[in-house]
Every structure is written in C-alpha cells, then in structure tokens.
Structure 1
Amino acid sequence: MRAVACPFGNVERFRPRGIAIGRSLLPREWAPLPIARYARLQSGARTMDALAETLNWLYSLEARGEIYKLERMETALSLIGNPHLKLAAVHIAGTKGKGSVAAMLDSCLRAAGLRTGLYTKPHLVNLAERTRINGGEIPARVLLDYIRRLRAVFEGAGLGLTFFEFTVALMFLYFAEARVDVAVIETGLGGRLDSTNVVRPFLSVITPIGFDHMEYLGYTIPAIASEKGGIIKPEVPVVIGARDPEARTTLLSIAAQRRSAVRLIERDFHFASHAPAHRIDYQGLGLRLDGVEIGLAGPFQHENAAIALAALEAMRTQGWSISEEAIRRGMREVYWPGRFDVVSRSPLVIIDCAHNELSVWALLESLDVELGQDVRPRLVFGCLADKDWKRMGELLGPRVRDVVLTRVKPKRPLDPENLVPVFSRYAPTRVEPDAVKAIDLVMNESGPDDVVLVTGSVYLVGEIYGYFLARQGRTGLFPEADA
C-alpha cells in the first residue's frame, strides 16, 4: 500500500490548548507570499497544462445544468460497453460524512492489498482528484485521453450529457479498464436519481442525514431520507449511519421493501470515543476492535469511522479478506483534505468544508474538543447563495474573534455584503471580495499564536488550498496514480 500523505504534512494528534503538529512541508513560520507571485504560479500551472482547452470544453457542459434521469446515463454507458456493470462497488450516500467514510474505506481496502478506485465529489483543487486509483488521482494525460474518447462517442451519438454525467461515465470506464478490485463511489446529490445510481453495488452505505439541497431533495427529513435511500438495491446489504428517528424509519422501510439486510448504528454496531485522543472502540455484530486510531482530526470523525468499520465488517462477512491489522493501518493512515485540516503551523490555519448547519455543528464541536472552548479563531467565511447562511452565521459568529467575509467562485456566490448584518452582531466584521486577498490579509495580520479558520463552502476551501499549495509550487492535493 502506498500511503497518501497530506501535502502539508500529516498532523500529529491534536491536544486541547497544546497543539503539536509534525512533519509539515510548510515552513514553521509563515512568510507573506505576494499576490502577484501566487497569480503567476496558478496561471503558469494552467497554461502549461495540456488539458486546458479540453477542460474548458468540459466545464462548458455545466451550462446545461443538472438533468436527473438515469435513463440518460444508461444510454451513455451502453455506448461504451457498460463499464459500471463490471465493477465490484460500494455505493455511499448521505448528508454528512460520506466523503470521509469513502476515504476511510478506500484506505483500509488498500491496506488489505486491494486495488481500489475512489470517486468523490466535488473536487477541491483540480478535477483529477475526483477519480483516484490506489490513492493517486488520474494522471493529466490519461484524463485528457478519456475526455477525448468519450466526447467523440457521445457527440457522435448526438447525446448531450451534463458535466456530472460525463465525469461519472469517465469514472466508470477508467475504473473498469484499470481493473480495480473494489470501487468506492460517493453520490453527487441525493441518491435515487443521482447519476452514480446506475451502479450495481455489493454494499450500500448511508451516512447521517440532515437538511441540505432541499430544493432538489425535499424540505422534510423523510423526503430527504427517501431520496438518499434510493441507493438501496434489492437484496443488497446496507449500512445505515443515520440517527434521526424519521430518517431511520424511512430508510428501514425502504430496506425492508427491498429485502436488504441492514446494519444499523446504535442497534447492530456501536462505538465509544476516546476524546481528545483520536481513537474509538468499535463493537459490531461479529467484530470488536478496541483503540482504533483515526488519522483524521475532529470528534465528528469518530462516528464516520464507526460507519466505515461497519461497512468493512459487512464486507468480511461477504468473503472479502480484510484483516484487523489492515483495518487499523488504514484507519490510522487515512487522508481526507478539507475536514478540520491544518495547513499552517504559525499561525495555526484550519480549513474545513462545513457548508450546512449539520456540518457547522460538527466543526464547532471539533474546535471545542481539539483547541478548547476559550480559543477564538479569526474567521474567513464565504458561502453559496442557496445555503442556509443565516443559520451558519448565527452558529459561527459567537465563537470567533473577528470575521473577514469573502466571495465564493465560480458558482452561485452569495454577496458577502449580505452576511455583514449576521456576523457583525457577534464580532468585528470586514469584507474582502477576493478570497486570496482575504486569506492573505488575515495571515499578514495574525501573530504566531493566532488561530485562523476558513470555512463556509467547498469552493472557498478549494481556492484557499490553492493559495497554500502555490507556496510549495504544487498544483494538487494528491499524487498521480501509476499509469
């Protein structure tokens, strides 16, 4: 197994009021990086990339919006040999934690010696990171080849796919042709009509469910759970990590209708946290593991780890050879950026993709446990217009020292001026529309003992990652997969 290292160094386990960070690739002391140099690095990476023209075409497909009809995906995939039917897949849906669970599963399966494919959405820094084999993102020249091949096929057939449909088709073909042993596939939105839901998994996983994307999934927990539960397949086992009573009732009903064996959190598997130490004790139907170390910070990852362990236990009962040693190693070495991720030592900079009420609560719990309730970070915040930004502001505002509001690009940005009345009730608040200038401003003003928190949107997090990666002359969070 090739471990996938955090480009900023694997952070040693946090301790409240006494954080130790080790093996960072960043300098111990932060030094200002001129905005002009950052722009040149990013621009140079783009202009040198042979993918530029092809990616511009691919991103132009976003103008078609989203079309939720699985028949379109089935038609497209039939033109390229139905690669999705050649995969042994684990399919994951949920409101919170599905990416972390997917990353944990992938890490443990690689530790067990399996060749894995991992598909997650959205990407943070570059498109290639969505589609990874054995921890490495699809190489640029391979991605270019697949886009050109599929474009010729689909345009030749007069099939106008959306951006997401195209990238999902590319993922299925890449994994099938690479002959991965297991494909771990995260849904994009919902589940029932998500483009990934043409896959025929041997195991389904549903993580905690809450309110998000209501305009597409519904405005009640049962409605949202029904959409997420659409990934449950007839007679295919399912792991359910939802705790909400209405969500559980809905999901159990769907599973019963489809005769799917269920492993339900708090009924069939349990965990006990050892906070602030990043370890849990796990008890399943036939597997007990004490003191499992988790390589991701934040107490919210304990529940995600338990869900991943339940999925691994289910796979073991299906005949997959996954040793306890492999499970422990995989959980210890997992890397999943954007979730309470430390990217600088001095000042301490934490990046988190929290973008709804459920994930903001998890972030606040992590701040309390990892840093202590008396630590008040400096906040850089931006979000999309269709999120519950007022509620996020009400939760974050009382917890921070001061706020710099910025604009998220490129999709559905909320004017940061709209956020001022919310945050200014709790802390001194400024607006800097350019996200790179916003983080640069805060970094230059911060002392070595300050804590800086960047959150509010996956897209904002991706842009800020780009800022810090540019300081290292890097353009991505992951290594390339072996060709």
Structure 2
Amino acid sequence: MFTTVEQAITYIHQRPKFHRENKLTMMQSALKLFDDPQLKFPSIHVTGTNGKGSVSHLTSELLVAHGYHVGLFTSPYILRFNERIELDNQQISDADLLAVTNQVVAKLDQSELRLTEFELVTVLMFVYFAEQQIDVGVIEVGIGGEHDRTNVIQAEVGVIASIGMDHQDIIGPTLADIAREKAGIIKPHQLTILGQIPADVAPIVSEKIAAENAHGIWFDQELQLPKIKFTAGMVKFDLNVTTAGDHLLIQRLQMPAFALWQVWDASLAIVAAIAFMRKHLMKPSIPTVRKILMNFHVVGRMELINQEPTILLDGAHNPAAFRELIAGVRRSFPGQQVFLTIGMMADKDIKGVAELLRRAKWQVTWTNIANNPRAATEDELKERLGSDLSFVETWQDALQTALQAGGGEGVYLFAGSFYLITDVRHFLLADEDN
C-alpha cells in the first residue's frame, strides 16, 4: 500500500471527482464494510449556500472549549489536505492520515468498491472519528444536503446557514430545488437551526420540519440579534433565543468581524453548540463562549492578512456572498478605494457577480487561477462580460498593478474562488505557515 502520506493524498485526488448517480447507496455499502462508523457518535450536521464552513468551525471550537472530544469535517482545504479532518481543532496527523487511508483503501479494494474523491474522504473521516471515540462530530456538507455523501448520519442538531443560488447544475436549477435539497439534512426529532432562508422557499423547509417532527429555530424569529455594533474590525452584539418554554440571552458578545454575515454565522454556531450541550445535560459556560468568540476567525473568510497595505481575503464565489462582502467592506472601510482581484470557476454565476461589482464601483481586475482546468479563462470571461474587462494573467501582477495605482492606500481584496484564496494566502503568508 502507501508508504508516505503524499502517496495517499495523491491517490485520493486521483479518484473521480463527480458522482455517478444521485444516490447514497454506494456510501452506505462502503460504510457497512466498517460496521457503520458514522452511527457510533452523535453529530451536528451543517449545510448552507454560504456560511456552513464558518458555522462548523466555531461550533467545533465552542464544544472543544467545553471539554468535548470533537471531530470536525470541512471542505475545501486552504493550505493542507489535513485541514479537512480535525480532532479537537488539530488537523489529522500525517501518520494517522496515512494509516486510515491504507486501512480503508485496502478493504474497499477487496470489495471492488470504486468511490469518488469526496466519497472516499468522507469514509476516511467517519472511520477515523469512530476509532478516536469522539464525543461529537461536526460534519459540514460538501454540496447540497439530501444527496450529499455526508447525509448518512442521524444528526441530533442540524444547521441550514443559508439558501441561495449556487451549484444550480447539481442541486438546482431553481431556488426551490436547492431548498428541498438542503432541507434533506433534517432528521426525525432533530433540532434544526435556520439562518438566512428566503421567504419564498421557507415553506419548503417548514414542511420538511413538520414531516420529520423536528423543531426549528429560525433566525429573526426564535433567534434574534437585537443589538449589533461594528467598530474598527470588531463587532459587539446581543444574542436572544426563545424556544418552547426556554430563553437564552447573552449580552455584549464581541468578535473580530467586518461583515454582518460573520455575526449571523456566529449566532447559529453558538445556538448549535449550546443546544447540543443542553441535550447532553451540560450547562454552557458563557465566559467560555465569550473567550472563544473574541479570538475566532476562519481562514480565507473576510480574513485580514496584512494591515499596511490592507490586504483582505474572502472566499465569496456567488452573488449572495458578494452582496454581503460588498456591504461588509463598505461598512468597515468607508470611503476607501477598493482594488479587487477576482478569479472564478467557469460554472459560477460570473455575470451576476460582475453586475454587483459594477454597481460597487470598485477597481476590478480579473485573473486566471493557475493549474485549474475549471477556472474561467480570459476568453471565457470576455465572452460573458465583454472585451473591455480588465484582465491580468497572474494575481501577483494584478496586486502589483493595484499597489502602484493606489500607492498602498485603500483596500486590496482577493475573492472569487477558494482556489485563488489558497494560492494568495500560501504565497503571502508562507513564513507564518511553515
């Protein structure tokens, strides 16, 4: 089998990328080989068009801080593959990743089961978490919900952070289709926390909650944020949750943030973590919640990586995310010129994003994403947006041009794809990350 972790990761990445069919039968067959590890620990399941990664990370951090042995599964990774599988907020070690990959691949090969890349990684994660005897798994959906390969768990708590237009070719084409897919994570008697759900598809989610005899906590209804105040890269807010005979009020919470969505996602994570603790008869420590929140940030999501000049990274890659990104930058950097370097995948709503950026009146430069066949090329961008767009082949050249134009003043922002963010972050923070 594999003798190095590099060999194991290369093998994983060489698996087919796309699902053969919209069913979970292959996953279920594979997991049975390992005695259904996904059912050996309680779980929290998190989906959403935007925000699911932030919610998952903070939920995990809060539970670890309260003494739980927590497995966290997320995607994509920013710098290292190991980021996708964490134990108590520490990435899986190379030795453990190598061992579990050898174990799983050997048994799959014996059974002649051929999984996609995401299916294989998901099986690796479930096997590893079961072997580590975790207290709870925080499991982020890959794409969608009902047919996502993570949806083989019976999660006690579910979170739908948001519903918007993205991945229409896989889980669409309509917003109603996407809502039905994301509502598919709702399980019998589950406590489900609902974030930014458009009013016209809320009934779809409500019907699923009723059908599963689940209990919903809706943002701006049972969950409210009555006071939000941004100042100098920080935000203060109150969190108020009222459910059947129960009430929770936490005042004057603080966290580093530039955008409103960061507060929304944090509130969902806090409620999810506290709900899980209460189900397991643990009283949450509010001082602990405050401490974790004060130091919380997610790599590549409204991340300030340099102050002079101001360099900001954000993985926004659809119109809903860009709408919040624009609002957040305006709020935190009022009156400053914004120099955006953007690269996107060809299957995204490039026209919708470009229209938002046109109205924002930012200095926008489109760029290529190196070594990624899915990325929109210069010709594809010009075909969709017109020949007058500003395009520079590399993000490094785009940044240099922007710095010369702005004289180091203003905000230098990278967004559009996590593949671009990964490259920028790895290059500019190489010394810190090594």
TM-score of the pair, normalised by structure 1:
0.82
What percent of counterpart residues are identical?
27
Over 3 Å counting, the alpha-carbon distance change for 1:146 and 1:266 in structure 2 is: same
In the alignment, which of 95, 106, 111 is matched to residue 49 of structure 2?
A: 95
Query: For the Cα contact (< 8 Å) 2:45–2:159, is it kept in 1?
Result: yes
Q: What's the CA shift for 1:118?
A: 1.1
Query: For the Cα contact (< 8 Å) 2:16–2:115, is it kept in 1?
Result: no
Q: Which residue of 2 aligns with 1:305?
A: 266
In the alignment, which of 403, 420, 424 is matched to residue 460 of structure 1?
A: 420
Is 1:128 aligned to 2:82, yes or no?
Answer: yes
How big is each residue's C-alpha offset from its partner over 1:96-131, in whole Å with a ceiling of 9 and x where there is no partner? Answer: 111111112112112212221111111122211111
Q: Distance in 2 between matches of 1:238 and 1:413?
A: 35
Q: What's the CA shift for 1:429?
A: 5.0
Instruction: Point out the more displaced range, 175-184 or 254-263.
Output: 175-184
Q: Could you say what secondary structure the match of 1:246 adopts?
A: coil
Q: Which residue of 1 aligns with 2:368?
A: 407
In the alignment, which of 155, 172, 177 is matched to residue 109 of structure 2?
A: 155
Over 3 Å counting, the alpha-carbon distance change for 1:306 and 1:78 in structure 2 is: same
Q: Could you say what secondary structure the match of 1:307 adopts?
A: helix
Task: Supply the AA of the counterpart residue of 1:131.
Answer: I
In the alignment, which of 194, 201, 206 is matched to residue 252 of structure 1?
A: 206
Q: Distance in 2 between matches of 1:473 and 1:329?
A: 24
Q: What's the CA shift for 1:64?
A: 5.3
Query: For the Cα contact (< 8 Å) 2:159–2:194, is it kept in 1?
Result: yes
Alignment of 1:235-250 (within 5 A): 235-250=189-204
Q: What's the CA shift for 1:242?
A: 3.3
Q: What's the CA shift for 1:162?
A: 0.3
Q: Distance in 1 between matches of 2:188 and 2:362?
A: 51
Task: Supply the AA of the counterpart residue of 2:209.
Answer: A
Query: For the Cα contact (< 8 Å) 1:234–1:258, is it kept in 2?
Result: yes
Q: Distance in 2 between matches of 1:66 and 1:338?
A: 31
How big is each residue's C-alpha offset from its partner over 1:177-207, in whole Å with a ceiling of 9 and x where there is no partner? Answer: 1222221111000000100000111111111
Q: Could you say what secondary structure the match of 1:61 adopts?
A: coil
Give structure 1 stretches of 5+ with no counterpart.
1-48, 476-483
In the alignment, which of 32, 50, 53 is matched to residue 78 of structure 1?
A: 32
Q: Distance in 2 between matches of 1:474 and 1:131?
A: 18
Q: Larger strand proportion, structure 1 or 2?
A: 2
Task: Supply the AA of the counterpart residue of 2:173.
Answer: Y
Q: Could you say what secondary structure the match of 1:185 adopts?
A: strand
The structure, 1 or 2, with the larger RCO (C-alpha pairs under 8 Å, 6+ apart) is 1
Over 3 Å counting, the alpha-carbon distance change for 1:175 and 1:321 in structure 2 is: farther
Give structure 2 stretches of 5+ with no counterpart.
none
Alignment of 1:14-413 (within 5 A): 50-63=4-17, 65=19, 67-272=21-226, 273-276=228-231, 277-285=234-242, 286-318=247-279, 319-372=281-334, 374-399=335-360, 401-408=362-369, 409-413=371-375
Q: What's the CA shift for 1:63?
A: 4.9
Q: Distance in 1 between matches of 2:409 and 2:402?
A: 13
Query: For the Cα contact (< 8 Å) 1:381–1:404, is it kept in 2?
Result: yes
Query: For the Cα contact (< 8 Å) 1:380–1:439, is it kept in 2?
Result: yes
Over 3 Å counting, the alpha-carbon distance change for 1:59 and 1:443 in structure 2 is: farther
Q: Could you say what secondary structure the match of 1:241 adopts?
A: strand
Q: Which residue of 2 aligns with 1:474?
A: 433
Query: For the Cα contact (< 8 Å) 1:347–1:447, is it kept in 2?
Result: no
Q: Could you say what secondary structure the match of 1:279 adopts?
A: strand
Task: Supply the AA of the counterpart residue of 2:237.
Answer: I
Query: For the Cα contact (< 8 Å) 1:351–1:453, is it kept in 2?
Result: yes
How big is each residue's C-alpha offset from its partner over 1:258-315, in whole Å with a ceiling of 9 and x where there is no partner? Answer: 1001111222111131223412111111110011112443221111122223223422
Q: Could you say what secondary structure the match of 2:297 adopts?
A: coil
Q: Distance in 1 between matches of 2:265 and 2:401?
A: 35
Over 3 Å counting, the alpha-carbon distance change for 1:436 and 1:125 in structure 2 is: farther
Q: What's the CA shift for 1:435?
A: 3.8
Q: Distance in 2 between matches of 1:456 and 1:416?
A: 15
The root-mean-square deviation of aligned C-alpha atoms, in Å, is 2.2
Task: State the number of aligned residues.
Answer: 423
Query: For the Cα contact (< 8 Å) 2:62–2:270, is it kept in 1?
Result: no
Q: What's the CA shift for 1:431?
A: 2.3
